Amino acid sequence: MANLFSPDAIEPTLQKKMLRGLIRIRRFEEKLAQLFKRGQLPGFVHLYIGEEAVAVGVCSALRSEDRITSTHRGHGHLIAKGASLNKMMAELFGRVDGYCRGKGGSMHIVSFDLGIMGTNGIVGGGIPIGTGSAWGDQHLGKDNVTVVFFGDGAANQGVFFESMNLAAIWRLPVIFVCENNGYSEWTATEKLTAGRIADRGMPFGIPGAQVDGNDVEAVYAATCEAIVRARAGKGPSLIEAMTYRWHGHNEGEEAFAGEYRPAEEQEKWRADEPISRYATMLSKLGVLDEAGYQQINEEELALVEASVEFALNSPFPEAEEALRDVFPTPQERTNA
């Protein structure tokens, strides 16, 4: 058991897979930034650049049947849980081949078959839903776990505390993963948040761990520990992953937000960048050389470019699509 969570125990195959996951998310998000800047991408877009190690570390520890609830900054979670870039990109463009046939967009992507219960446009909105899916699985005798992703801003929503309490008294197989990226929208989280978020489970008897959110293996290890606990029927865990949001709260915020993050702070976090940090480590371990890295990068870049092409080739939904699915018939649903 002692070495179960040490980097030595992580197979090179998984290490390469995790690096690929980090790169896939980064290239996808960079592409979105570019498309948004050109005015080609509609809606609100919240990018995950800089935080990739959290999604990849967490989701690499999950089984495909395990579930996640996500946030407004959810693209990374979806990709890490196995979502198709094509269907994501098509949804972001509002096209009929998107995950939700254009009815959801960035903040509402659902892929129920992959255990993706939904990104969410409301800060904290997914927390009780993920608590509920853990309750459902527990009640139905399935040993799935649910990971509830939320941000440091959502940690100040009352429903977070309500949900931790419910999860604790019912010993639900749920893992609360707080991505602390330092900013609650446009205000430094330290100005808005008392104490450490990782400590907020303590009064409920929920173990909390604060981990380096830019260290994908540290996140993976903490998640594995929480999963063991959850599947053993011992109840919920809380993980606070410390990371940093490179881009704004949303793309295009420079029109109104002004400068609110010190340059030194941004430089410090960029120097601690999760991808090159991990690539360097894998290189030192002899898992991957520079050529191997470049190959992964090019393959992922090609997938992202292909997803844009897929999306742009997909038609817009017919207007009548807007009137469907208010009350979907059970034949259509995948959770039947």
Partner 1 sequence: MTKNDGAQRSTYFVKAMQEGLAAAMREDPNVVVIGEDVDRSVIGATRGLLAEFGDTRVRNTPISEQAFVGAAVGGAAVGLRPVVDMMIGSFFYVAMDQLANQAAKLPYMSGGQINLPITYFTATGPSGGGAAQHSENIHPMLMNVAGLKIVMPITPYDAKGLMLSAIRDSNPVVYFQDHVLGGTKGHVPAESYSIPLGFADVKTTGKDVTVVAIGSTVLKALRVAAEFEAKGIGIEVIDPRTLAPLDFDTIAQSVAKTGRLVAVDNARLTCSAASEIVATISTVCFSDLKAPPERVAWANVPVPFSAPLEARVVVQDSDIRDAIEKVLAA
| Residues making contact with partner 1 (CB under 8 A) | 67, 69, 98-104, 108, 110-112, 117-118, 120-122, 125, 127-137, 139-140, 142, 144, 146, 158-159, 162-163, 165-166, 169, 324-330, 332-336
Q: Which residues of 36-58 are buried (b: 16+ CB within 10 A; e: fewer)?
A: beeeebeeebbbbbbbbbbbbbb
Measured from the CB atom, is 108 or 261 closer to partner 1? 108
């205000």: which residue's tokens?
187
Measured from the CB atom, is 15 or 133 closer to partner 1? 133
DSSP letters of 54-97?
A: HHHHHHTTS-TT-EEE--SS-HHHHHHTT--HHHHHHHHTT-TT
> DSSP code of 303?
H
Q: What is the 3-state secondary structure (H, E, C) of 224-250?
A: HHHHHHHHCCCCCEEEEEECCCCCCCC
Measured from the CB atom, is 98 or 208 closer to partner 1? 98
Measured from the CB atom, is 106 or 237 closer to partner 1? 106
Measured from the CB atom, is 134 or 308 closer to partner 1? 134
Task: State the Cα–Cα distance between residues 117 and 69, nearest whole angstrom.
Answer: 5
């078959």: which residue's tokens?
113
CB of 317 to partner 1, least distance (A): 9
Query: Of the candidates 217, 269, 300, which has an alpha carbon nearest to the alpha carbon of residue 30?
Result: 300
Burial of 71 (0-12, 13-18, 19+ CB in 10 A): buried
CB of 165 to partner 1, least distance (A): 6
CB of 93 to partner 1, least distance (A): 14
CB of 177 to partner 1, least distance (A): 16
Query: Of the candidates 53, 75, 76, 7, which has an alpha carbon nearest to the alpha carbon of residue 269?
Result: 53
What residues are paired with 148 via a beta bridge?
Answer: 69, 176
Measured from the CB atom, is 112 or 316 closer to partner 1? 112
CB of 138 to partner 1, least distance (A): 9
Task: State the Cα–Cα distance between residues 184 and 73, nearest whole angstrom.
Answer: 12
What residues are paired with 151 via a beta bridge?
Answer: 179
164 HSE (CA, 13 A, CB side): 27
CB of 217 to partner 1, least distance (A): 29
Measured from the CB atom, is 132 or 208 closer to partner 1? 132
CB of 319 to partner 1, least distance (A): 15
Measured from the CB atom, is 30 or 185 closer to partner 1? 185
CB of 327 to partner 1, least distance (A): 5
